Amino acid sequence: MRKENILVGILVVLLLGGIYLYNRSALDLGAQFPQVNIEPPAAEGQATQNISMAGSRNISWNDYTPGMALAGKQGKSIFLYFHAPWCGYCVKLKQETFTDDRIKAYLNDHFVSIGVDTDKREKLARQWGVRGLPTLWFLEANGKKINSLPGFVAADQLLSILQYIHTQSYKTMNFQEYVQQKS
């Protein structure tokens, strides 16, 4: 009986150690890249945009409620980005894709971009059916869902998708047809 208790204790320690190392690896992956803040500085009730003071503009991220209202007012499509600080692919997306000047310009010119930290807005993430991170949603200006895209997306691919959405080509053809037509 004593050996069983010792074995159970060892298994519990190994399990807890494995969980710790797994979570630590995700945090370490995030530490490889500089943090890019996409959360707007204002409270939720205020419509704000985060515009860089440096020479090149960053993506103008909005909080959910004011961003949805702004899109309706401006008649722009919505780019809804669900993320978390511990998510390695979210960090990679911010570092590699969202720093691309073409992406920044296209989002700022043609979309209202909304960033949602799922750790802070769990209920909202559940409402949108977010099951993995990152998750990107593309919406019409009135909030009607067009489609979602889970996971990391490289800048070239995201730019094509943004153009497909902005030109409303999704209403007349699928994405593969759009890409073939562009070629």
State the pTM of this model.
Answer: 0.71
Domain assignment present for residue 42? The answer is no
Residue-level pLDDT, tens digit, the chain, 183 residues: 576 767 666 766 565 555 544 444 333 433 333 333 444 444 444 444 443 323 358 999 999 999 999 999 999 999 999 999 999 999 999 999 999 999 999 999 999 999 999 999 999 999 999 999 999 999 999 999 999 999 999 999 999 999 999 999 999 999 999 999 988
> In this structure, are 98 and 139 located in the same domain?
yes
Domain assignment present for residue 120? The answer is yes
> In this structure, are 83 and 169 located in the same domain?
yes
If we measure between CA atoms, which residue out of 113, 116, 94 comes closest to residue 162? Answer: 113
> In this structure, are 24 and 106 located in the same domain?
no
> In this structure, are 9 and 69 located in the same domain?
no
> In this structure, are 21 and 101 located in the same domain?
no
Per-residue pLDDT, 87: 97
Residues 6+ apart with CB under 8 A from 181: 173
> In this structure, are 72 and 157 located in the same domain?
yes
Domain assignment present for residue 40? The answer is no
Instruction: Count the domains in the chain.
Output: 2
> In this structure, are 66 and 18 located in the same domain?
no
Domain assignment present for residue 156? The answer is yes
Residues 6+ apart with CB under 8 A from 97: 103, 152, 153, 154, 155, 158
* Backbone φ and ψ of 147, nearest 5°: -170, 165
> In this structure, are 27 and 67 located in the same domain?
no
> In this structure, are 67 and 19 located in the same domain?
no
Per-residue pLDDT, 156: 97
Range of the domain at 13: 1-32
Domain assignment present for residue 45? The answer is no
Domain assignment present for residue 53? The answer is no
Domain assignment present for residue 50? The answer is no
